Amino acid sequence: MAEQGIVARLAALARLELDAGEADTLERDLGAILEHVERLRALRLSDVDATYWTTQAAQGMRPDEHRPGLEVEDALSSAAARAGRFLLVPGMREDG
């Protein structure tokens, strides 16, 4: 179970506004996640070889070869707004 009030503290740090129902739901969800992590920690994995592949290594990887990309005009042909060779996007900052 998640520590009582942890969601409220995390929400405050993240500057999130949660109502009581949302906080309760998230606290239950976090508790379930932490319980699952504890079950994973209890697994005896000392006999399991470490691996870093998520797929079978037999599939291999393609060689890293240079291939031409799009021409600038082709890449920008459907752009909503552009300035010369650059794509224009709406600003994200409120201060300018």
For the chain, the three-class secondary structure string (H helix, E strand, C coil) is: CCCCCHHHHHHHHCCCCCCHHHHHHHHHHHHHHHHHHHHHHCCCCCCCCCCCCCCCHHHCCCCCCCCCCCCHHHHHCCCCCEECCEECCCCCCCCC
Of 11-25, 64-78, 82-96, where does mean pLDDT reach its minimum?
A: 82-96
Between strands 82-83 and 86-87, the pairing is antiparallel
Q: Is residue 30 part of a domain?
A: yes
Domain that holds residue 14: 6-41
Q: Is residue 61 part of a domain?
A: no
Average pLDDT over the chain, rounded to whole? Answer: 85
Give pLDDT, residue 51: 74
- Give the count of domains, the chain: 1
Q: Is residue 59 part of a domain?
A: no
Q: Is residue 63 part of a domain?
A: no
Segment 28-59, tens digit of pLDDT: 999 999 999 999 999 998 888 877 666 665 66
Q: Is residue 32 part of a domain?
A: yes
Q: Is residue 62 part of a domain?
A: no
Helix (H, G, I), strand (E, B) or coil at 71: coil
Q: Is residue 88 part of a domain?
A: no
Q: Is residue 23 part of a domain?
A: yes
